[in-house]
């Protein structure tokens, strides 16, 4: 049943499509399956846009990140990545903010898709750390 919901999340195209207006850009590739995500961020880190050539898990993760980018960025991309990894591994952790649809995606049933789910966050870290 969650697969249908993940497809619905992945089909959210509000922030899909690169604007080619911003200098903060990156491309990340999943070494396991070959998924690719391209991300572009506004200079003030308020919004991001993305394009993927990927599975629905990467697409859904990027859509959730884009729809909540300002809040997640303030919380810390590193902190969010650690939270996602702990939650997927079955740890009982709580997030101090409400991110719509995140729990559906990072359920421990999706542990084998962890690299797909974390790919957009890894891409953002490339921008921040460069």
Q: Where do the structural domains in the chain lie, given as residue ranges?
A: 2-129
Return the higher-pLDDT residue of 34 and 128: 34
CA distances from 70 to 21, 66, 112 (A): 18, 8, 28
Residue 1 has pLDDT above 70, yes or no: no
The residue-averaged pLDDT of 52-59 equals: 97
Residue 93 has pLDDT above 90, yes or no: yes
2-129 CATH, one of 3.90.1010.10, 3.50.50.60, 3.30.70.1140, 3.40.50.970? 3.90.1010.10
Ranges 14-18, 103-107, 126-130: which has the least confidence: 126-130
pLDDT at 2: 86
Sheet architecture: strand order including 48-53: 24-29, 36-41, 48-53
pLDDT at 130: 77
Percentage of the chain modeled with pLDDT above 90? 89
* Confidence band for 103, pLDDT divided at 50, 70 and 90: very high
Residues 63 and 40: their CA atoms lie apart, in Å, by 13
CA distances from 109 to 20, 90, 113, 116 (A): 36, 9, 9, 14
Which residues does residue 53 pair with via DSSP β-bridges, in sequence order? 36
Instruction: Name the average pLDDT for the chain.
Output: 95
């Amino acid at each position: 049943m969650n697969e249908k919901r993940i497809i619905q999340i992945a089909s959210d195209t509000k922030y899909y499509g690169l604007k080619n207006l911003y200098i903060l850009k990156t491309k990340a590739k999943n070494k396991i399956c070959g998924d690719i995500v391209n991300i572009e961020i506004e200079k003030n880190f308020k919004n991001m846009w993305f394009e993927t050539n990927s599975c629905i898990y990467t697409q859904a993760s990027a859509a959730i990140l884009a729809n909540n980018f300002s809040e997640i960025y303030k919380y810390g991309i590193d902190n969010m990545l650690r939270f996602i990894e702990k939650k997927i591994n079955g740890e009982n952790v709580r997030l101090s903010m409400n991110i719509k649809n995140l729990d559906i995606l990072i359920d421990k049933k999706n542990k084998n898709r962890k690299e797909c789910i974390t790919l957009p966050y890894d891409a953002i870290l490339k921008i921040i750390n460069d």
